[in-house]
Amino acid sequence: MSALPYAPHPDGDRKPLTYRVNLASPPDLKAYEAQDGYAALHKVVKEAPAEVTKAVKDANLRGRGGAGFPTGVKWGLVPMGADAPKNKYIVCNADEMEPGTFKDRLLMEGLPHQLVESMIVSGYAIQATRGYIFLRGEYVVAAERLNKAVAEAKAAGYLGQNILGSGWNFELFVHTGAGRYICGEETALINSLEGRRANPRAKPPFPQIAGLWGKPTVVNNVETLSNVPHIVLRGGAWFQGLSQGKSKDAGTKLYGISGRAKKTGCWELPFGTSAREILEEHAGGMKDGLKLKCWLPGGASTDFLMPEHLDLAMDFDTIAKAGSRMGTGLLTVVDDKQNIVSVVRNLEEFFARESCGWCTPCRDGLPWTEKLLYALEQGQGREGDIQTLEQLTHFLGPGKTFCAHAPGAMEPLQSALKYFRAEFEAGIAKAPAQAAA
């Protein structure tokens, strides 16, 4: 550790992503540089691009956007060398719209330069010609701060021609969207960035081969990319050690709690911290008079888990084994005063509204699901409705649709049916519904 090219900040070794975050007044270029900012960029431009990808692979960095795909592997698929296409792109997925997720906003509003540096360093790894931060249109403050950071970085020579004498040219743009959840799906995001309706594309070809304007493109989440400069500076072994043996997944994770808990919020913790620690120690437990009924581990498109699952480590494999997905890692807690049918109806209303309409099971199946749930919520359900919902979880499940939108929508529904069937049954009308007068 003695060979570090900078003076390490003690918190930087423990909470690399957030120790410099300042939501009220994020560090400008000078302040960021004074806190090791752009040290990673100065370091990488003296190395071969492949070294950066290797460092990310060695660190075992996995995508923080929900799927957990190994970042270094993704980058490794990009054509490199003299025969590679001239234009290549790195795109940051900053379209944070998964209900219950509020981590990327924190990183972009509180430390915009970290994402800008991350984009440049990651762009160098794949020798990208341009980068785009695909930011959701509602993040007005983040857009303003990121644009300012990009302008400062450009003025400092961190963007543009022959960056830091490396001979590498790179431009970075902030692209703001106009609101649609499906833009978070990487191929839909690429269509949206090209100025088209955000329908997903068929894979293969994968974006690393043919993405934006048919050129090699890497799409990574904000939190994923933000880890890269720290891995470059401190190394893979340090990164693997951050999870303190709580998980075989490496690094820290931005975990959070929303719902009716005492102190809702978002915290950077070792990867694999238990859901119980997040809820009880960091959020102070449920509000007085409320009990935990169930929880979504990482957004609307993850299966519900129960109070008995709280001791599980919040990592990709452990949560998958319990029948759900870690997703974005921000928990939504549902209290015992809530009717599960209403909560699921709310979730499915969201998915039905946000379906892009490209394929039939999703376009027609989600509004049908919502309609059945609405009837059950009103006590107007009919015999057979629950069986129909169960069938829909299959017809809209994995492999039946073009992208993961509808299968994601089915996850909270199928788990709610499993754990709380009686509440659905209570929504079936006892007597035949009377005809409207």
Q: Which residues bind another protein (CB under 8 A)?
A: 87, 96-102, 104-105, 136-141, 173, 175-181, 192-198, 213, 256-260, 264-266, 296, 300, 330, 332, 334-335, 338, 343, 346-347, 349-350, 353-354, 356
Task: In angstroms, give the least distance from the CB of 264 to another protein.
Answer: 4
Task: In angstroms, give the least distance from the CB of 355 to another protein.
Answer: 12
Our CA angle for 24, 28, 30, nearest 5°, is: 140
β-bridge mates for residue 134, sequence order:
93, 175
What is the C-alpha separation between 119 and 117, in angstroms, rounded? 5
Strand stretches in 242-327, DSSP E: 252-259, 265-270, 292-296
- Nearer to another protein among residue 61 and residue 135 (C-beta): 135
Task: In angstroms, give the least distance from the CB of 376 to another protein.
Answer: 17
Angle between helices 405-419 and 360-377 (to 10 degrees): 30
Structure token pair of residue 338: 């809530």
What is the C-alpha separation between 175 and 147, in angstroms, rounded? 10
Task: In angstroms, give the least distance from the CB of 257 to another protein.
Answer: 7
- Nearer to another protein among residue 139 and residue 170 (C-beta): 139
**Are 429 and 381 spatial neighbours (Cβ–Cβ below 8 Å)?**
yes
* H/E element, 331: strand 330-335
* H/E element, 52: helix 49-58
Task: In angstroms, give the least distance from the CB of 169 to another protein.
Answer: 15
- Nearer to another protein among residue 139 and residue 239 (C-beta): 139
Task: In angstroms, give the least distance from the CB of 299 to another protein.
Answer: 9
- Nearer to another protein among residue 55 and residue 340 (C-beta): 340
Range list of H helices, 328-429:
340-354, 360-377, 385-395, 405-419, 421-425
Task: In angstroms, give the least distance from the CB of 283 to another protein.
Answer: 9
- Nearer to another protein among residue 136 and residue 201 (C-beta): 136
- Which residue in 285, 308, 309 sits closest to 298, CA to CA? 309
Task: In angstroms, give the least distance from the CB of 102 to another protein.
Answer: 5
- Nearer to another protein among residue 13 and residue 349 (C-beta): 349
- Nearer to another protein among residue 35 and residue 87 (C-beta): 87
- Nearer to another protein among residue 177 and residue 365 (C-beta): 177
DSSP assignment string, 120-188? HHHHHHHT-SEEEEEE-TT-HHHHHHHHHHHHHHHHTTSSBSSGGGSS--BEEEEEE----GGGGSHHH
Structure token pair of residue 211: 């993405």
Structure token pair of residue 306: 């129960």
- Which residue in 58, 114, 91 sits closest to 229, CA to CA? 114
Task: In angstroms, give the least distance from the CB of 213 to another protein.
Answer: 5
Structure token pair of residue 239: 């990164």
- Nearer to another protein among residue 37 and residue 412 (C-beta): 412
